[in-house]
Structure 1
Amino acid sequence: MIIIRLKTHRIIIQALVTFSLSTPVLADEQDALNFSAGAAVTFDDNLFRLPDSADTRQSIGKSKRSDRILITNAGIKIDKPYSLQRFQLDLNLIDNRYDTNSYLDYTAFNYRAAWLWQLTPHIKGTLSADQQQVLNSFSEFRDFNNQLNIRRSIQTNENRIFDIDGLIGGGWHLLGGVSELRSRNSVEFNAVGDFIQTGANLGVKYVAPSENSIALIQRAYNGEYQGRVADAASQLDSGFKQRETEVQLQWRLTGKSLIDAKIGYLDREHDSFSSRDYNGVTSRLAYNWQATGKLGVITSISRHLYSYQQAANSYYVADTFAITPVWQVTDKTSLSMRYDFSQRDYRGAVVTVAEQREDNVQSFMLSADWQPTRTIKVTGSLRHEMRNSSYNQPSAFGGDLEYDANMATIGAQLLF
């Protein structure tokens, strides 16, 4: 395990920024080695995702619910081909400083390292490792019993993946791989839990001469919750097994439109408490339409199942619609919009409930990118989020799960 202290993070960020300002090298996508450094400011008018009914003095100990966050980052990117092989490394340090709620300050260390290996033109695969760290959203991470003592919870996800793709002839491919996912929170969060999940996958894929493809993949996972023993009272388990069967399709309808689709079946069984088990259909259908040379639109609908373990639910089903138009105004300027609507149905209660929880979550975002030179990129965005929920218990501590939030961000990135 790699441990990097906050002071070290700051030193590395400062060093990279200083190096960037003193180095005349220009960024070039063809370079094997690239650096980046940047900063952004975000204003969030409802940081803790509180309902309008919440008494902020009692719930968070302050009169205002907004905050301003200064985000600085520095990164190194390596992408080096060598004969049939390709080696990639992407390191990023992201420092988050909160103006009002400084106890939420944190520095994320994110990385991805990959070896895109190839034995022959017909046998290839990927060996990769990555890590992502992020502050858990207060839309779900809440302590209703002691909201005055709001805690910072950083979620760290680590993935280790090895996969292989072998062409056996006539457009047919054999697929396989193994993986490990480690997920942990810096503060105990039983609804999600810290876990290690290991598994393997096996499949077959057909790629037509037109490059349209269809694949059938079977996955099997074993999961173990860390620091948890099976508890009959809460029916929080120590482990689980999960099986997934999935069909994937990529089909280019015309030169300007592409369908990316998948449908599958997921089945999760827990080691001790079958009351937490769940299964169901998962799916995604995305339509990518390049209307003109400068305007493209991606539209998608999907269904996913997520583990979320409380007394009143064990998981939820999320049905989501999203649309994202992107307009390349000029060679240096682009505008985009994204609208998401998700209906979430919480199921699998282990206690008697009068009504199961149902949420409607919506978000709308406008963003703009301007890159006046190869080394400078300026970005800005406006975002609105809202949630309506059947769970409606107004109190000083924000028991009501409904909220509205607005965010505005502006930032700049130096690439070299």
Structure 2
Amino acid sequence: MFLLQACRYPQHLYLGLVTFLVALSASFSAVAASDDVFSPYLDFSVIHEDNLLRFHDAATALAVTGSDVMADTVKRATAGLRINKIISQQTLVADLSMSRNRYNHFSQYDYAGKDASANWGWQLGSHVSGNLGGGYTEGQTPFQDFRTIEPNINRQRRENFDAAWQFHPSWRVRAGYSQYALAYDLAVLKYNDRKLATTEFGIDFVQPTNSTVGVQMRQIRGEYPNNLIVSIFSVDNNYSQNEFKGKVDWRMSETASIQFLGGLVRKNYDALTKRNFSGTNSRLVGNWSVSAKLNLNVNAWNEVGSSNDLSANYSTNRGISGGMGWELTSKIKMDASLRAEHRDYTGVSAVTGAQALERKDTYTAANLGLSYVPIRHLQLSASIANEVLSSNFERNGYRDNKLQLNGRYDLGLD
């Protein structure tokens, strides 16, 4: 009932679930041995991007903002508290933080960020377990999502509950329910405000090696409280989505695993039903601990998803990504990642009578980071990143390079 009622509460009460879990953690800690339960931390970052607003070029920046300046430096100061406690079979984790973000040039984007998340990993006996969690985030909308020159704070909240019952040594059933809400401050983007309710059921065959093979069914109900107004048209984006997928988690060894999730997806809109679509989604994930100090992962996907482009009701996204974590010494660690995705916008226009445009985008991103722990509790890190979007609609494309320097001090007790 709490999850169902939470969506009706005023915004300041969306943190109720998180607060409850933090309080629960604190009460458990009061009766437990004194150890690293509460860990305050301070974090300071300097981030420089040479194309903050993702303009196609300097001429576009000049036309939109009246200046050809595209680069900016952001200073971010964060104070937070982590809570991590294991009591018997229960695991309680929470992270609460606030940040101040200051832009050197585009000072209109200065904002105070808020983040709160908590999860109770619960277990009853040796056969029933699950999670109860929630979170709230408030901050500037990423510029690659919507390239607006006005400040646009978004607020996201979620609540989730899931449970699994291994009723037989080889069989397990699971179910879950979650709610997600997203709201934008910017009036022209209010049509993207949404509430999603997701229900999921599944059954797995569990092998002695902990490898599993199973199926799952998922239903998503999406509600958009504000219709999109285009000329004389009012576009209702409410929908229902149903998925039926197979799921494989293959533990090849103690250090290597492969996960696969794929199957059918169908999306039906309440209005303008010609926008309905169906297809197949699939995702493959591989993880390999080459050694105690080197970890590799790869992720490949072929999925159909909703589109924010009014000329197409969905896009087909095919991509691959890879990552590496390498502990060079006990104090120095290197991280690297690569991502490439092709997005094919197809289907029909969201607006009746408008011609569907065949837009095709290719997105690539690369990141390389190095972290150093000179003394206990202090971590210094630096990273460089490159992001490129190319499109057959040339003006949609952009390129951005980013340099980030970061220092974090964990005040947790020894």
Q: By the TM > 0.5 criterion, same fold?
A: yes
**Partner SS, residue 54 of structure 1:** helix
Q: Residues 194-224 of structure 1, C-alpha deviation per residue, up to 9 Å, x if partnerless?
A: 1112232111112211111123111112221
Q: For residue 414 of structure 1, what is the amino acid of its counterpart?
A: Y
Report the CA distance between 1:176 and its aligned residue. Answer: 0.9
Report the CA distance between 1:377 and its aligned residue. Answer: 0.5
Q: Is the 8 A contact 1:41 1:70 kept in 2?
A: yes
Alpha-carbon spacing, 1:259–1:161, altered in 2? closer, same or farther (3 Å): same
Deviates more, 1:403-412 or 1:103-112: 103-112
Q: Is the 8 A contact 1:200 1:219 kept in 2?
A: yes
Q: For residue 408 of structure 1, what is the amino acid of its counterpart?
A: L
Report the CA distance between 1:72 and its aligned residue. Answer: 1.0
Q: Residues 304-359 of structure 1, C-alpha deviation per residue, up to 9 Å, x if partnerless?
A: 33322443112222211111122210011111211111101112332554741100
The residue correspondences of 1:119-134 to structure 2 (distance < 5 A) are 119-134=124-139
Q: Is the 8 A contact 2:227 2:234 kept in 1?
A: no
Q: Residues 99-149 of structure 1, C-alpha deviation per residue, up to 9 Å, x if partnerless?
A: 111111112211112222223221121111112334223334135xxxxxx
Q: Is the 8 A contact 1:275 1:348 kept in 2?
A: no
Identical aligned residues as a percent: 23
CA distance in structure 1 between the partners assigned to 2:326 and 2:55 by the alignment: 34
**Partner SS, residue 142 of structure 1:** coil
Q: Is the 8 A contact 2:58 2:70 kept in 1?
A: no
Report the CA distance between 1:85 and its aligned residue. Answer: 2.6
Structure 2 counterpart of 1:410: 405
Structure 2 counterpart of 1:332: 331
Q: For residue 203 of structure 2, what is the amino acid of its counterpart?
A: V
Structure 1: 5+ residue stretches without partners = 5-28, 144-149, 393-399
CA distance in structure 2 between the partners assigned to 1:229 and 1:380 by the alignment: 42
CA distance in structure 2 between the partners assigned to 1:341 and 1:413 by the alignment: 30
Structure 1 counterpart of 2:40: 35
The residue correspondences of 1:73-112 to structure 2 (distance < 5 A) are 73-112=78-117
Structure 2 counterpart of 1:312: 311
Q: Residues 244-301 of structure 1, C-alpha deviation per residue, up to 9 Å, x if partnerless?
A: 1222211122343211221122211111111332222111112222233322221221
Report the CA distance between 1:184 and its aligned residue. Answer: 1.4
Alpha-carbon spacing, 1:290–1:119, altered in 2? closer, same or farther (3 Å): closer
Alpha-carbon spacing, 1:118–1:111, altered in 2? closer, same or farther (3 Å): same
The residue correspondences of 1:393-408 to structure 2 (distance < 5 A) are 400-408=395-403
Structure 1 counterpart of 2:376: 374
The residue correspondences of 1:183-198 to structure 2 (distance < 5 A) are 183-188=182-187, 193-198=192-197
CA distance in structure 1 between the partners assigned to 2:356 and 2:164 by the alignment: 50
Alpha-carbon spacing, 1:401–1:321, altered in 2? closer, same or farther (3 Å): same
Structure 1 counterpart of 2:389: 387
Q: For residue 406 of structure 1, what is the amino acid of its counterpart?
A: N
**Partner SS, residue 396 of structure 2:** coil
CA distance in structure 1 between the partners assigned to 2:364 and 2:107 by the alignment: 28
Structure 2: 5+ residue stretches without partners = 1-9, 14-33
Structure 1 counterpart of 2:270: 271
**Partner SS, residue 252 of structure 2:** strand
**Partner SS, residue 319 of structure 2:** strand
Q: Is the 8 A contact 1:230 1:272 kept in 2?
A: no
RCO greater where, 1 or 2, for CA within 8 Å and sep 6 or more? 1
Q: Does 1:242 align with 2:247?
A: no
Alpha-carbon spacing, 1:137–1:240, altered in 2? closer, same or farther (3 Å): same
CA distance in structure 1 between the partners assigned to 2:80 and 2:145 by the alignment: 30
CA distance in structure 2 between the partners assigned to 1:82 and 1:276 by the alignment: 50
The residue correspondences of 1:16-165 to structure 2 (distance < 5 A) are 31-52=36-57, 54-142=59-147, 150-165=149-164
TM-score normalised to the size of structure 2?
A: 0.85
TM-score normalised to the size of structure 1?
A: 0.85
